[in-house]
Chains A and B, each alone.
Chain A
Amino acid sequence: MFNWLSDVLSDLRYRLRAVFRRSAMERDLEDELQFHIEREAQKLEAAGLPRDEAVRQARVAFGGVERIKDDTRDVSGVSWIETFGQDLRYAIRGLRARPAFTASVVVTLGLGLGANVAMFGIVDQLLLRTPPYLRDADRVHRVYLTYTYEGKELTDGFTEYARYLDLTRLSRSFETTAALASNRTAIGVGEDASEMTLGIVSASFWSFFDAKPALGRYFTASEDSIPAGAPVVVLSYALWQMKYGGSRNVLGQSIQIGPVPCTIIGVTPPGFVGIADEGPPAVFIPATLYGYGVSSARGRVDYYNTYHWGWLSVLARRKPGVTLDAANADLTNAYRLSWTAERAISRNTPTLEVARPRASVEPVVLARGPNASPVAKIALWIAGVAAIVLLIACANVANLLLARALFRRREIAVRLALGASRGRLFGQLLTESLLLGALGGLAGIAAAQWGGSVLRSLFLQDAVTVDVLRDVRTLAYAGASALVAGVLTGLVPGLQAGRASLIPTLKAGAREGTYYRSRTRTTLLVLQGALSVLLLVGAGLFVRSLHNVRALRLGYDVDPVLYVRPNLRGMPLPPIERAQLARRLVDASRAMAEVEASARGISVPFWSTEGLGFFVPGVDSIRRLGRFTVQMASADYFRTMGTRILRGRGFTDADRPDAPLVAVVSEGMAEAVWPGKDAIGQCIMMDSRSAPCSMVVGIAENIHQTSLEPEKLQYYLPIEQIRPEEASVFVRVRGNASDHAERVRRQLQKIMPGAGYVTVTPMREIVDPRQRSWQLGATMFLVFGVLALVLAAIGLYSVIAYSVAQRTQEIGVRIALGARVRDVLRVVLGEGLRFAITGIVIGGGVALWASRWVGPLLYSVSPKDPVVYGFVAVVLLAAALMASAIPALRASRVDPNVALRAE
């Protein structure tokens, strides 16, 4: 039964003895064989031969002692370890003897590997890693709801609390469901109040994890019951450490969450982040507590039985044995029943036939779900790009090794002639490149550690940061890719050496080492050129997208504008006083020297939109024209935002509640609603056909309210005439808004009553995330593209320089026969350019072929943009010219006397 085990053990014992007591074993073997010969000699002596003759015959009969020793050693299992040790020592000696070569290889591999390791860390964070502590991760899903609205199919990862209850009640395929949301909310009071991320979860959420609280307990279903929930809070480990110094006395203490004082009942274990959609939460509170009291100081009474307010995600854990298809069908059925329930209380809800609602279970991680942000996609692209850079780096190193192997051809041939096996030679070259790979891997980890923090801040922003050196997954990836790089780079020169034919190499003198154009090297070089072209084309496309997106006129200015939002922290303030506070904020900001203009407005581009029903005399169905968005704004709004009034006027202080009702419409709305007519003087009626007329007094340019796609149906109403109590403010400063944000905040904070506070956000911070994917793409493609170009240029340089060195004699002869400097230059430069052109053609072809996948990630640039392709071709040609210029000049200075005499 245990035979195999004892076999393995005796084998191991023998091998270990063989390795560690090598000299003793060697002596024993020698003794054993000598003993044999001695006994044989004694036998022959006894048969009557003289001593000398007996010994001689015994030796002859025995055969080659050394060969037998070799064979025995092979059997003893010591050889491969020993061989590897020898090869390693040999490789280290070789690398130390050529520090420049070693350094360039290690740096090249280090850059390539570093880029890869850093990108792996990011992709792993964004896409691959399951949230910590999550159990049965393969059965846990996020629910997405799909329905058709105005002819368009929409998929939504967020829904209402009532819907969450419906889906839980009406589906059968799931063990547990949980509600989940996050929001930034003021936590604490007075001086140490600050906005932090709130984890809003149902009590069932905790059962999705194998995470014991570090202290206390989690909340229970009875503390998370409709309508109001219980004012309890679970601290994150990080907040517990930071704010309470890890004190065990926190249980029972009170902490203010938004308007509600809550009791601390527990602390999550370290590293627990729940499902961190918007960065790790600072605290966790019951979903019902948020739905009722935290989200609204007045207490929201209908959040759990109406379908107005979609704010949470639904998590679901499939029962074992239920297939995905079955779960989707079951969930869709539940959703349709819920839809019918919604229609029963809300007449506006379209019918099942129109909306065609269906539900599906999708990955928990947002970036892998149907509504993934382009950042995740771009991260994948960049990871691909990093892999290409590594490929180029490997090609470069393989080329360098190959060049070295060619210089060593004679040495290798001599060793082959002396009986070294080709396998052994191959092993030796491979050992060398594996060693280089390992060194490059170390350099890569260092590069990833250093450069990775820059990359991570670009991609992940406030998400959990990863320390490369402490992250086992990333380190394992680094090790594996270093190994692959080592094998890849070693394979080519290794195989080449194995193929070398002996006789011609040995016969050829140093001089006759005729110009040897290696097809492998040429291929590698063209490959590098092609890959650089591919990356540079990508870089060009993204740079142009970014340029277009930046140049896009949004319909308002971004850099000089600040968005100011007062937060009363739930303090009940009558509408009149709220309106007064808003006016005071505007006045106070206008009094500041650096402020150019300020005005009130309720919706924020890209953050929020408002829609109101309205009617236009003579137009039957206004909704048929599309979706209209409305901004309610005060006097000076258009000047503050920088939105141009094309005709007529904007709002003034005269547009008071008692003054005639007015409106401003966008250019696009004017054309769509009153085609061929002058919109100014026309009438729109808010809410109902019998409402008084709001007369159009001005036409404003179209703005981008919700997306970077063209939008045009917008109108504006005077805030004082429709919702005077809304208090958010836009401030336009002289110069860059970010520089003044803090001063404006301090100034306005003075006005806030009670515990209220203001948040001040530069518009740039609101708009930038929209442009981030192009910014990322442009930056990363450019960095990696240039890296690739530099690597390819170095590769080209080394190959041309090598070929010039090989052809010194030939060039000498040419010059002696009357070739001019120009001819020599042409020959060498021509060689470099040929490589470049081949690379451009191949790389350009691949880029054109691959362009259809990048297309959707670009912004008003054709993925086949001829300017980009042309520019890249010129850049590559220039790089090739520069790389071959130095060797070309060297060639032109060849002195025929020296070249021809040298032997």
Chain B
Amino acid sequence: MADEKLDLPQGTLDLLILKAVSLGPVHGWAISERIRDVSKAALQIPQGSLYPALHRLERRGWISAEWGASDNNRRAKYYELTRSGRSQLQLEANAWRTLTEAVSLVLDMG
């Protein structure tokens, strides 16, 4: 089922998670769903990396977590972007755009 899956370049997983979390409090499953939906299923985050990444970002203070009730009334852990997470997202997003633009320029050459 993951035939079409793209390999995520190093470091982009954090960027994607930060972006997904930036839209409001969200739990782990919803993050992976959100990314898959928005990327038209091109990007699938392996669960094996998602949770370690979430905990790593929490440790670095870029996202914070709180337990709350989910839409079907189950206990779920919600992640939210912190202030330093917001600036980190900006930083990484800009860097990504610069990089992709530069790469496109090179590819379009000639």
Which A residues fall within an 8 A CB radius of B?
Answer: 3, 6-7, 9-11, 14-15, 28-29, 31-33, 35-36, 38-40, 42, 61-64, 67-68, 71-72, 74-77
Contacts and interface: CB of A to CB of B under 8 A. Distances in A.
B48 interface: yes
Interface in B57-76: 58-61, 67, 70, 72, 74-76
Nearest to B87: A3
Nearest to B60: A7
Nearest to A28: B77
B25 interface: no
B42 to A, nearest CB: 17
A625 to B, nearest CB: 88
A68 B48 contact: yes
Given A35-B27, A63-B46, A72-B55, A6 B61 contact: yes
Nearest to A36: B29
24 contacts: A6-B84, A7-B61, A9-B61, A10-B59, A10-B61, A11-B61, A15-B59, A28-B67, A31-B75, A33-B51, A35-B27, A35-B29, A35-B74, A36-B28, A38-B74, A40-B29, A63-B46, A68-B48, A71-B48, A72-B52, A75-B53, A75-B55, A76-B55, A77-B59
A402 to B, nearest CB: 38
B48 A63 contact: yes
B47 interface: yes
B5 interface: no
A11 B59 CA distance: 5
Given A35-B74, A42-B72, A76 B47 contact: no
A74 B60 contact: no
A32 B51 contact: yes
A75 B27 CA distance: 19
B36 to A, nearest CB: 11
B48 to A, nearest CB: 5
Nearest to B61: A10
Contacts of B47: 36, 61-63, 68
B52 A75 contact: yes
A697 B76 CA distance: 117
B27 to A, nearest CB: 7
Given A32-B77, A68-B48, 10 more contacts: A7-B61, A28-B77, A33-B51, A35-B27, A35-B75, A62-B47, A72-B51, A75-B52, A75-B55, A76-B59
B48 A67 contact: yes
A76 B53 CA distance: 10
Nearest to B74: A35
Interface residues of B, number: 24
Contacts of A67: 48
B77 A10 contact: no
Contacts, number: 71
Contacts of B48: 63-64, 67-68, 71
Given A3-B84, A42-B72, A62-B47, A31 B55 contact: no
B20 to A, nearest CB: 14
Contacts of B59: 10-11, 14-15, 75-77
Contacts of A11: 59-61
Given A10-B61, A63-B47, A68-B47, A35 B77 contact: yes
Query: What are the 8 tightest A-B residue pairs by CB atom distance, in nearest-first order?
Result: A10-B61, A39-B29, A71-B52, A14-B59, A36-B29, A75-B52, A75-B56, A32-B77
Interface string B16-38: 00000000000111100000000
Contacts of B75: 31, 35
Contacts of A29: 51
Contacts of B29: 35-36, 39-40
A28 B68 CA distance: 12
A29 B46 CA distance: 17
B54 to A, nearest CB: 8
Contacts of B51: 29, 32-33, 68, 71-72
Nearest to B28: A36
A74 B72 CA distance: 31
Nearest to A12: B59
B60 A32 contact: no
A67 B47 CA distance: 11
B53 to A, nearest CB: 8
A46 to B, nearest CB: 11
B61 A35 contact: no
A74 B52 contact: yes
A76 B27 CA distance: 18
B61 to A, nearest CB: 3
Interface centre among B28, B52, B67, B70, by most A CB within 10 Å? B52
Contacts of B53: 75
B74 to A, nearest CB: 6
Nearest to B59: A14
A61 B33 CA distance: 13
Contact of A14 (B28, B46, B58, B67): B58
B76 A35 contact: yes
B60 A10 contact: yes
Contacts of B52: 68, 71-72, 74-75
A32 B28 contact: yes
Contacts of B30: 39
B41 to A, nearest CB: 14
B69 to A, nearest CB: 11
Interface in B81-102: 84
B72 A35 contact: no
A507 B28 CA distance: 47
B84 A7 contact: yes
Contacts of B27: 32, 35-36
A29 B48 CA distance: 13
Contacts of B58: 14
A15 B29 CA distance: 24
A32 B28 CA distance: 8
